[in-house]
A = this chain, B = another copy of it.
Amino acid sequence: MREQRGNIHMATAQKSITLNGVAVGDLLSTVEAVKTTPSIAKFKFRIKNQWEDGSRNHSTVTTLCGANQELTHPAPFRIEADEPGILLGKDLAPNPVEHLLHALASCITTSMVYHASARGIQINAIESSFEGDLDLHGFLDLDPTVRKGYQAIRVNFKISADVPDDRLEEIVKLGTGHSPVFDSLTNGVPISVTAERL
């Protein structure tokens, strides 16, 4: 950890530049601000979801809490979910397990870009593909030995950057090693659930 921290600080000379679309100076200032006021590092992310009909529901993303402030997105974001016809939906939107792959892909990518930028690594392009295996014997209660969730997820990253071949994997590890969704999904998260009458 100390070495990675060191790398972030080595980029201090580049405080005023934007690299890979990331305001590196602001990123380094954030690191310094968190060291001075640790409580600003605590964030709460939120969504509300509403069922529509059958396999269709949508989430609304309006507020978050971070840096000791209540924050509001400029306009609420709306994210839809449905199921393909073979899973009894109308196929009007990605399904929940496809959304999960997007959460994972977007998080690894952004984590990679932020941490590469902090280390002065220029990236030209990133493309990735994600595939997850799911066996409906779990969801349908047909076999208690088959889990309901993904059995495995395979990820491939293709990266264009001005680095030797052997550093490509290192760049990808900046993503997987820092991504909140990668950590959440590989190590699990405690989820508490309450229910009440509407």
Interface residues of A (CB under 8 A from B): 1, 4-5, 8, 20-23, 26-27, 30-31, 34-35, 38, 41-59, 61, 64, 66-67, 69, 71, 73-74, 77, 79, 81, 83-84, 86-88, 91, 93-107, 109-111, 113-114, 123-142, 144, 147-160, 165, 168-169, 171-172, 176-198
Contacts and interface: CB of A to CB of B under 8 A. Distances in A.
A169 B191 contact: no
A188 B190 contact: no
25 contacts: A1-B141, A20-B53, A20-B54, A21-B53, A22-B54, A22-B88, A27-B88, A30-B88, A44-B131, A50-B126, A59-B102, A59-B106, A66-B84, A81-B102, A148-B177, A149-B179, A152-B189, A152-B192, A156-B194, A159-B195, A160-B197, A168-B196, A172-B193, A186-B191, A187-B188
Given A47-B129, A158-B197, A185-B189, 12 more contacts: A20-B53, A45-B97, A64-B98, A66-B84, A74-B91, A96-B180, A99-B102, A100-B107, A103-B103, A149-B179, A168-B195, A171-B195
